[in-house]
Amino acid sequence: MKNKTEIKSLLRTILEVAKRNKVMFRYSALNHYKWGNHDYIDDWSYDIDRVIEVILGWDDIHTIQFLHAKKVCKDNKKTVNIKTLKNWLEKEGFIVDKKPLSYSLDCDLEFFGITIDDEDRAYQLDAEESSYILLQDDAWLNWEAYNTGADCLIDYSVGLDNLFKDTSIGKITDDWQEKFVLMEKGLL
């Protein structure tokens, strides 16, 4: 049995798998919005160190969001592209069809808005509805900073496994735990 002698944290390992699969991530923008920390809402990116930096800020349950890179808006990396936005609105019950759709997301001004134009009148979602849709994700995981090892990973959405090719959170965690045990025994 040949083992790699390097072991990284479980969270870093998961985020590296996401990056290889072109799945962007960030600390939960929805949480920052709810807490009124609009200026802490990060862009979708592959910045593993930034996610870890935010988690190290306090012991708590932390949510990390995941979104396939092809869905990220190129002009405003804090939200999704217009096609994804339209799909999400329709899943929430809004009738968009071929109607013009516009949105605004400005964390500095704390403004979140979506407008669905309907020839004679426009429908504007309120800030709460708009933020929920603009800051959504494909998947998430919860990380408990006051635990240790694999116990930090306390929950994740089923959608996360669907974003990864040829692996799953369960497999990543099992492989990591095997290495961690070998390291604790001084065998790595």
- pLDDT tens-digit readout, 10-66: 999 999 999 999 999 999 999 999 888 888 899 999 999 999 999 998 778 899 999
- pLDDT tens-digit readout, 69-86: 999 988 889 888 889 999
CA dihedral 24, 83, 40, 160 (to 10 degrees): -40
- Indicate if the pLDDT at residue 118 is higher than 80: no
Residue from 102, 99, 68, 69 nearest 85 by CA: 102
- pLDDT tens-digit readout, 126-169: 888 898 889 999 999 999 988 888 888 998 887 899 999 889 99
| Domain boundaries, given as residue ranges, for the chain | 1-75+136-179, 79-134
